[in-house]
Structures are given as C-alpha cells and as structure tokens.
Amino acid sequence: MQLKDKVLLQLEYLKTAKQDLIPQINSISDYQISLMKPNVFAEGHPENCIRKMDLAFEELCTNLEEFGVHNPKQLTVFEFYSKIAYFKSKKKK
C-alpha cells in the first residue's frame, strides 16, 4: 500500500506543485528504504552474500549430480540453467 500512496502523492505533486506533499513523499521513501537490508560483504560474516551465493551454487551442483548430471561445474551457464529448468519442469508434472 505504501508504494501506491507514494505514487499517488508524487502524481499529485506533479499536478499541483504543492510543497506540503514533499514531506509525506519523503516519509514514505524513508520507510521503504528502512525495509531494505544492504548486502554484507564482510569476510567471515555469516550473512556474507558472496559466500551465500557460493553455497547455493554448490547445493545446485549437488542436486544436479543427484539427478545424474556429471560434472555440473563444467557446464556452460546456458547448459547449467537449462538443466535446472528442465528438472524444475519435470518436478512440477
């Protein structure tokens, strides 16, 4: 709901140029920004985003190996994601 309110206020501001709308728009923006968590790059931090991506990749490789894909780390990016998409679609059936 916040996004809709913000857009409506911004449109109203563009239409009328009422300066009293700016604090309301900024307040909603501040709230939305407070909800976003920045990526953590600190080495050794448990929430390190690069480490999390590495772990997710290893998990995907393990899953592909379990489904009979040999050396998934040697696949091209296209081949890798094609195989994931194939097994996802197969699982849905």
Structure tokens at 52: 């999390």
What confidence tens digit (pLDDT) does each residue in 43-69 have?
Answer: 989 889 999 999 999 999 999 999 999
Both tokens of 6, joined, read: 């913000």
| Alpha carbon separation from 22 to 8, 17, 19, 75 (Å, rounded) | 12, 9, 6, 52
Q: Is the pTM of this model over 0.85?
A: no
What the block records as the tokens of 42 is 């600190």
pLDDT lower than 70: segments of the chain: 1
Tokens encoding 10: 């911004």
pLDDT at 42: 92
